[in-house]
Homo-oligomer: A and B are copies of this chain.
Amino acid sequence: MVKTTLIELDTVGFCDIRDITSELELKMKDSGLKSGVITVFVPGATGAVTTIEFEDGNVRDFKAFWEKIIPKDEFYAHNARWGDGNGFSHIRASVLGPSLSIPFVEGKLTLGTWQQVIFIDFDNRRRSRTIVVQLMGE
């Protein structure tokens, strides 16, 4: 059985990091499914998903990592061509990736105790974001 739902978020960009774990748990409960996989997918080229221990230190370190490795103000051919200044957002999102697959068993996500699912908005402006949450199982 397949059930597809959406999470809606208003984000501010520039590596805006949001913990979506409790919404995923809610979607799973609402689905009535007991075992299977949740596919979390970002429809868009400047956002991404992963997991982290969601506490202020890690969040700051994660942001610092992206600024170090793919700096906002370097030269990007994308910016030279389109002038929208979010070349860094595109490369960060492609490197981290848009999809995550999380098994659930007996009505529980198999996340670790100190592990949360995060959506990262790498864009350079406010956005209204939609995240696809698909549950497949029995």
B interface footprint on A42-54 (CB within 8 Å = 1, 0 otherwise)? 1111000011110
> Which A85-133 residues have a C-beta within 8 angstroms of B?
87, 90-91, 93-103, 105, 110-112, 114-115, 132
How many residues of chain A are within 8 Å of chain B by beta carbon?
59
Q: Do residues B98 and A99 form an inter-chain contact, with CB atoms below 8 A?
A: no
Bound-state CA distance A58–B90 (Å) is 7
Q: How far is the CB of A129 from chain B (nearest CB, A)?
A: 10
Measured between beta carbons, the chain B residues less than 8 angstroms from A50 are 94-95, 97-98
Q: Provided the pairs A45-B114, A138-B2 are in contact, do residues A52 and B94 lie with their beta carbons within 8 angstroms?
A: yes
Q: Provided the pairs A77-B61, A96-B95 are in contact, do residues A53 and B90 lie with their beta carbons within 8 angstroms?
A: yes
